[in-house]
Homo-oligomer: A and B are copies of this chain.
Amino acid sequence: MIETHLAKLRARDTISVEEERVIRDSLGEVRSLPTQHTCIRAGERLHSSTLLLEGLMCRYKDLPGGDRQITELHVAGDFLDLHSFSLKQLDHNVMTLTPCRVVLVPHAKLKDITEQHPHLARVYWFLTALDAAIHREWELSLGRRSAIQRIAHLICELRVRLGLIGQADDDGFGLPLTQADLSDCTGLTPVHVNRTLRDLRERGLMDFRGRRVTITDLPGLQAIAEFDDSYLYLRREDR
């Protein structure tokens, strides 16, 4: 059930059999969620964190005028709100972008981990630091990259993150997002996303159609995005 989660952790550190058992013991209720469903709202008091088992979800913030910014995408194996353990409530919403399956991890169990399994606690602390690193890279995209770079960069990021859990290879991957979702990730309008996707296709770099990204020139795509995966911390370390 949590193989994708373990794959994500084990790409970055050593998780012992004992720790794996502790993780499995922390799991609570499993839920299935429909698509386009906001399952956590900013300001709600939370008592458990949510681990994504299957599907695609996002964190987003809305503006009074109706504009939306997605601040991070989540794939299987990600904690959507591990930070709610420290924060107690979130400053953003979390919603599904596809039908999803999730499992709840009570904050009480996480607290036990901080008291009895300090190494595992450090690994989980690392996961929240990794989310922050992704936020920083998105700040760079939103602040300083052009439209074509923003989209190319996002696709490069997703290729690596999905690759870790065996859901992407060099040729492409399934990506059940609309162009409007993509515009909310990149701070662009849906119309401009459409034109930019055509540009990427005409340049022979990638094609995004029918909920699938086909990468036709990976080095070229990475070059235009100026993509460097070091912000994803893919090396194994002793935390």
Query: Which A residues have a C-beta under 8 Å from some C-beta of B?
Result: 42-43, 59, 61, 63-64, 67-69, 71, 83, 85-88, 91-92, 111, 114-115, 118, 121-122, 125-126, 128-133, 135-140, 142-145, 186-187, 226, 230-231, 233, 237, 239
Contact = CB atoms under 8 A, between A and B. Distances in A.
Given A63-B140, A144-B69, A83 B122 contact: no
Contacts of A61: 136-137, 139-140
A43 B129 CA distance: 15
A26 to B, nearest CB: 16
Given A114-B121, A142-B142, A226 B64 contact: yes
Nearest to A115: B118
B139 A128 contact: no
A69 B143 contact: yes
A79 B138 CA distance: 22
Nearest to A68: B144
A146 to B, nearest CB: 10
A186 to B, nearest CB: 7
A67 to B, nearest CB: 4
